[in-house]
Amino acid sequence: MANWNNPIPKSGAKLWNIGGYWTGGKEANKNDIRKAWDLTVQNFHHELQISESSKNFGSVLESRLSDITFAFNNLQPRTIIHGDYRLANIFIDRNANESQIYAIDWQWCGIGHAAMDVASFIATSVHENTIEDSLELVHFYHKVLTDNGVPYLWEQFWQAYQICWIDYFIFTVVGNWSAMQANDIKLYKKEEKYGLHVRSHAHMKNLLTQTEIFMKDLETSSVFQLTERH
C-alpha cells in the first residue's frame, strides 16, 4: 500500500487525479441514473425480483446525486488506489513459501480513498456464497489497516465504504445494466474477464440490496446534512 497520508508517486509517474475506471465521468454519465434505472427495471424486473418500492430507486438516487458526488469527492484520507481491482487482474503464486498476490492492469491507477478498491472488489469478485458476509471482509480490511499503523476509526471507514459502494452502483447501472438484456448474463458468464456484477444475478441483487440499505443509513447520518450546507 502507498503511503496513506502523503501518496506521492515517483518522479515521472502518471496517475489519474481520481483513480478508478468508473469515476469522474470516464465511462458513464451518472446524471442519467434515473433513466438508466428505469431501463434496468424494465429489462431485469423478474431476475432481480425488483419490488414496487425499488422501482423508484432511480429517482431517489437522482435526487441525492449531488450529495453523493460531493461526499465521494471529499472522502479523506486519500492514497494511491489500483482503480480496477478485481479477480481478472489478480494472480496468486501458490508455489512460493507464502502465497504471493500480484495485481496487473494499472491503467486506472490514481489518487483516491482506499475504500474505492474495497467496494469495487467486493461488488465484482467475491464468491456468491460469501457476498452476504461482505461486512466481515470490510472489517478484516480495516483491521489490517489499523494493525499496520493507519489511524482510522471504523465508523469513518465504514461510512466511506458505503459512499464508494453507492457511487460504484450508480456507475454500474448507467454504464452496464441499462444497456444489457436479461440473456446477456449468460453471454458474460463465458467471459471471465468481466466482473461478477454483470455475470451473476445474485451479485446484481446484492448490489441493489446493499445500496438501498446504505442510502437509508446515510439519510439518517450526518453525511447528507453536511453536504446540504455547501
CA distances from 213 to 27, 48, 220, 225 (A): 26, 16, 11, 18
Whether residue 72 contacts residue 92, with contact meaning beta carbons closer than 8 Å, is answered with: no
User: Is a pLDDT exceeding 50 seen at residue 2?
Assistant: no
Q: What's the pLDDT at 53?
A: 93
Residues 6+ apart with CB under 8 A from 149: none
Where does the pLDDT of residue 5 fall: very low under 50, low under 70, confident under 90, or very high at 90 and above?
Answer: very low
Low-confidence winner among 19-23, 167-171, 175-179, 221-225 (lowest mean pLDDT): 221-225
The whole-number average pLDDT for the span 32-61 is: 95
59-111 pLDDT tens trace: 999 999 999 999 999 999 999 999 999 988 998 887 767 778 889 999 999 99
Give the Cα separation of 120 and 139 in Å (integer): 16
CA distances from 153 to 80, 138, 142, 145, 158 (A): 20, 13, 9, 10, 9
With pLDDT > 70 as the criterion, what percentage of the chain qualifies? 90
Report the predicted TM-score, pTM, of the whole model to 2 decimal places.
0.89
Q: What's the pLDDT at 186?
A: 77
Give the Cα separation of 125 and 57 in Å (integer): 24
Q: What's the pLDDT at 133?
A: 82
The whole-number average pLDDT for the span 29-50 is: 94
Give burial (CB, 10 Å; 0-12/13-18/19+) of 157. buried
User: Is a pLDDT exceeding 90 seen at residue 132?
Assistant: no
Peptide bond before residue 151 is cis, with ω within 30 degrees of 0: no
Residues 6+ apart with CB under 8 A from 185: 47, 198, 199, 200, 201
> What is the fold, at CATH topology level, of the domain defined by 30-227?
Aminoglycoside 3'-phosphotransferase; Chain: A, domain 2 (3.90.1200)
